[in-house]
């Protein structure tokens, strides 16, 4: 937050340009202090649509994790057809365990 405040002040940018907190529609499940699993509902903006996946009639599942000393961000985004949606937790869980 301190970095963002310095950036805003340096470029005279309003706070509204840098919203904080989760997307209103996203459902978050915190797995640890450095990992969160989420679901962005169908037709909603959220963490799931911050990637190349566009909103449509299906939800988007994912996980965001900070790893390593730097740290680095690992962000996995999954949207599967209705018939395969049951696989999303397994895919995301496998990534989270590594």
The range of the structural domain enclosing residue 72 comes to 22-97
Residue pair 20/1 in contact (Cβ under 8 Å)? The answer is yes
Spans of the chain, pLDDT less than 70: 98
Model pLDDT for residues 9-35, shown as the tens digit of each residue: 899 888 888 888 899 999 999 999 999
pLDDT at position 39, please? 96
Tell me: cis bond preceding 57? Omega within 30 of 0 counts. no
Count how many domains the chain has.
1
Q: How far is CA 97 from CA 34, 36, 37, 92, in A?
A: 13, 12, 12, 9
pLDDT at position 17, please? 82
Residue 39 lies in a domain: yes
Residue 41 lies in a domain: yes
pTM, to two decimals: 0.79
């Amino acid at each position: 937050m301190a970095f963002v405040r310095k950036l805003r002040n340096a470029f005279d940018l309003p706070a509204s340009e840098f919203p904080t907190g989760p997307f209103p529609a996203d459902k978050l499940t915190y797995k640890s202090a450095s990992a969160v699993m989420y679901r962005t509902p169908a037709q909603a903006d959220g963490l799931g649509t911050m990637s190349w996946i566009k909103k449509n009639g299906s939800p988007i599942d994912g996980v965001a994790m900070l790893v390593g000393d730097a740290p680095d961000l690992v962000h996995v985004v999954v949207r599967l057809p209705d018939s395969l949606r049951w696989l999303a937790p397994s895919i995301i869980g496998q990534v989270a365990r590594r």
